[in-house]
Chains A and B, each alone.
Chain A
Amino acid sequence: MFAGTLAMLHRALRVDARLWRTHVFRFSFAFLIYIGVWLTRQTSFSVGAPGLRLFEAMTWLNVALIVLAGISFFATAITEEKELETLGLLKLAGIDPLGILLGKSTSRLLGAILLLLVQFPFILLAITLGGVTIEQVIAAYCSLAAFLVLMANLGLFCSVAFRRGGTASIVTLVVLIVYFAAPYAIGTIKLGFINGAVIAPNGAIAKGFDRAALWCNDASLVTRLRETMRTGFIEQPIGFQVLVSLAGAAAVFAAAWLGFNYFTSDSKTERRPRADLHGRFIGLLRRRRSRPERRALVWKEYQFVVGGLPMQLAKLLIYGLIAAATLWASERYYNYPMSLAAQYVVVGMLTAIVLESSLYASVIFHDEWRDHTLPILAMLPVRAPAIISSKIVGCAPGLIPALIWLIVGCAVWPDGLEEAVKFVLLPSRWFFVLVWLLFLTLIAFFSLVVRWGALPLALLVMALAAVVTSLCGSPIILLLQLVNRQSGVAEGGFVFVDAVIGLLIFGLQFDLRRRLEIASSQ
């Protein structure tokens, strides 16, 4: 078993060492640490406890990176073998499930732990700068390490359980959201049940909710890190969160091991068409998809990425049900005014639009690459910019269902129309739209550069850009402060910021064409 595991580990380390992105990522990380240290030094004369500030910044940066690693790096450990159809070869080589799991995950875990270890000397610098003790540093890094192990194993389990890397990443993300939101969600559900007279305020069920919320809160990394950063922290470095994280990691690893043969059997891993509403429901009615017309590429994206009219109708129905349930539950269980409930609907639909558009941006080129269809697409008598614009036009209708309920939400919300008009008129609101478009363009761009993980990579770049611009006290932050004070002046400043982001998008869009041509010829 160990010969195979070591061989896989050796191969993974060699491959990682040869990839330019590994070094770019490490360099970016080191760059951020240096910026943090430099900024701490600059502000040490005017701000109290500069060491604590550096420590806080580094800790939350680590949390963000571990989350990103979990949904990208770890969640694709086994799925990449499935997608390349090489998992069977590993099995044929006599490597047992435990060997494959260890071989595929250990190198990634080692790489991530290495990143935690290399920053330790810099964090010790925080102690010298003042405001933080060695006990706090050790406790925080124990929590981060335990969380990293949990994320690595959760990602590994999802990559065993699901056939596609994208699905594994999304499920990992959903579990993570549940992990972080559980204490608040349980409290909110309890409140709703009490307001709706479903449960007694001091009854056993309510107390059970309280205990569950408390347990989730204590097990949460966020709670533990906040405690750790508190002045006068003197607890043991191995807290409840560390133990729960390690136990959880062991449990999901065991599940991945025990379920490995089931989830990776031929019938589970063979390439099948994705769940297709058209095929399942409309096919039953013996109706056919519409035929492509003059804009065939638009038709293809609409039918096979968006899912066509049946998927549109299904989404319209599902989003409608969610919106109606939100309005009804807010009124029935929480006694919220309709205006507040409508705001929830608006925020929910905006989230749906961002998530859906990100998903479309991540698959439009990735699927072409996976199916080896980029060369035949590029061979069509159509220019590359027309191919890109056709893909965008084909996917855009996929956002219509969420958009419809967004408009409904705005109509119910008394200030909704005014807010919507602001998005058209005010450059400070264009900023958000442009950042969103920049994010989508980055995803599409990266999907032509890297084989897997374009979405997490785009997230990482956006996060790094946000950290760098905020750390350097960028004009964006100053303008945002101005917007609160004298909006008239700030709006003029935002035109400049918007123009810069617009230029960035334009440049990336232009380079997309070149990237498409390169990817087609490879």
Chain B
Amino acid sequence: MSEYQPGYPAVEVKNLSQSFGDRWAVRNASFTVESGSLHGFVGPNGAGKTTTLKIICTLLEPQAGAIRVFGQDVVLSAREVRRRIGFMPDHFSMYRRMSVFEYLDFFGAAYGLTAAQRDKVIADVLNLTEMHARRNDLISGLSRGMQQRVSLARVLVSDPELLLLDEPASGLDPRARIDLMEILKELQRMGKSIFISSHILSELAELCDSVTIIDAGRIKYSGAMGALLVRSDEHPTYRLCLAAEWPEIERRLGELPGVVGVERLDGKPEFRISFDGSSTDTNGILRGVLDLGATIASFAEERRHLNEAFMDLTQGGID
């Protein structure tokens, strides 16, 4: 049996393969989720996300490959791994006849917490998920968003180091979704590692430090979110927005040192400026524009949207 050693990544997947009949769900997938990070897991429907998640959380035994959670093998040390992770499936897994408190109390007891420990931890998680006022309500009477909060609270009762969340924002209204994302950020600040599978790319881009993109069972990208969103294969690009039009500004910008292209956007005083990759003198640009007497409204590096990156890397879109 493998022993836990500190300093290991939260999740380490090496050459994972899984098939159902003659259909490959995951093929030779490898990626790493660093400890303490908020890692997104993105892919079209049927890409292999849920299968990978189920393997990581020990519900499914891998056919090939090695999967470690904080250094512990998910097959050899399944029980130890279960103690350290909290899994939230993509559908509501609730005992609807229990009250919120009974539901959390049951899971706390199942994880071996004493009544006093449970009282404290349940109060904490209900405060965190802002469900304290509904602690005695029957789960069947809660809205979808509230049930999702209770589900998250259930995951947190055992104080796991790693949270595995499968489509946690699916079916939630915008407000519930924003609230959920805030809670996840707070959990990350508390030191939890979070592995989140989601379809909502815009929110993942804001939320996650790193991301893995999977398509047809193969990993297309795994690494830092920033590196994915920067247009690394092209010239570094910045977007300059002026407060007002300025005579011959487009030509003058093109004459500044290091600039290889200027493109006016939608007829407004807004320009996409491309630099020669070897010399990106943003200070020089700003200085040059100010010397011309123009007023700068905004100036920022232009990044790709996660949607674009996703579409580039995968064959299809999100269903």
Contact = CB atoms under 8 A, between A and B. Distances in A.
Given A273-B140, A300-B95, A375-B93, A381 B59 contact: no
Nearest to A296: B109
A379 B87 contact: yes
B105 interface: yes
Contact of B109 (A293, A373, A381, A383): A293
B253 interface: no
Please tell me the size bucket of the interface on B.
20 to 34
A299 B89 contact: no
B79 interface: yes
Contact of A381 (B79, B97, B138, B140): B79
Contacts of A326: none
B60 interface: yes
B246 interface: no
A225 interface: no
Contacts of A291: 105, 109, 115
Interface in B83-125: 83, 87, 89, 91-98, 102, 105-107, 109-112, 115
Interface in B39-91: 54, 57-60, 79, 82-83, 87, 89, 91
B199 interface: no
Interface in A4-24: none
A379 B59 contact: yes
A378 B54 CA distance: 11
Nearest to B94: A371
Contacts, number: 76
Given A273-B138, A296-B106, A521-B54, A381 B82 contact: yes
B154 interface: yes
Contacts of B109: 291-294, 296, 299
Interface in A254-292: 271-274, 276, 289, 291-292
Contacts of A383: 79
Nearest to B154: A376
Given A276-B97, A373-B93, A375-B59, A300 B138 contact: no
Nearest to A272: B140
B61 to A, nearest CB: 9
Nearest to B119: A291
Most chain A beta-carbon neighbours within 10 Å: one of B57, B94, B106, B138: B106
Contacts of B59: 375, 378-379, 520-521
A25 interface: no
A299 B57 CA distance: 25
Nearest to B118: A291
20 contacts: A271-B140, A272-B140, A291-B105, A293-B109, A293-B115, A296-B107, A299-B109, A300-B95, A304-B95, A304-B98, A371-B93, A372-B92, A372-B93, A375-B59, A375-B93, A376-B89, A379-B57, A380-B110, A381-B82, A520-B59
Given A291-B109, A296-B106, 18 more contacts: A273-B96, A273-B138, A273-B140, A274-B97, A296-B110, A297-B110, A299-B109, A300-B106, A371-B95, A372-B92, A372-B93, A375-B87, A376-B154, A378-B59, A379-B57, A381-B79, A382-B110, A520-B59
Interface of B: 54, 57-60, 79, 82-83, 87, 89, 91-98, 102, 105-107, 109-112, 115, 138, 140, 154
